[in-house]
Amino acid sequence: MTQRPEKTASCLACDLISGASPLPGGSILRTHHWAVEHCIGPLGVGSLVVKPLRHVVHFADLEIGEVAEIGPLLHQAAQAVTELTKAEQVYVCLWSHANRQPGHIHFVVQPVSADDMRRFDAHGPALQLAMFESSDLPAVEDVEQFARRASSWFAHHSATQL
């Protein structure tokens, strides 16, 4: 494994984990290696972010314990989003760039409905781009309500599966 530098500058993902930046809905789930939070961007209510607790910029630099947890955790996050939103589809994708520089990796687990695709006249990556270009952030109250529901979902499903 190539050794890469640890966090050297401000990292929003790390700041959200540590509480240095406000996180609407708070932490939904923490495992030994990962945090599950509601997305703070314009990807809609029910979009979750799954990210390593430590600052990791390259998927290849994950440690074996992190790798062992991520598959089952992403599966559970997709199940939670599917059940709680009744979405037509749930996208799961890795993001890592900030200002054209590799940043703290995070998986986005995003519910997508036919209404979303009609509203933005797009699907897949084009839908996500259109949502970011719109800059329409979900209401904090809606995010907090979803985060409570998701926390409850994980509390009832995670103990035996992770």
pLDDT tens-place string over residues 40-77: 999 999 999 999 999 999 999 999 999 999 999 999 99
Q: What is the CATH code of the structural domain delimited by 13-149?
A: 3.30.428.10
Q: How far apart are CA 124 and CA 145, in angstroms?
A: 26
Sequence ranges of the domains in the chain: 13-149
Residue type, 17: I
Q: What does the DSSP 8-state code read for residue 137? A: P
Q: What is the pTM of this model?
A: 0.90
Mean residue pLDDT across the chain: 92
User: Closest by alpha carbon to 70, among 160, 2, 6, 162?
Assistant: 162
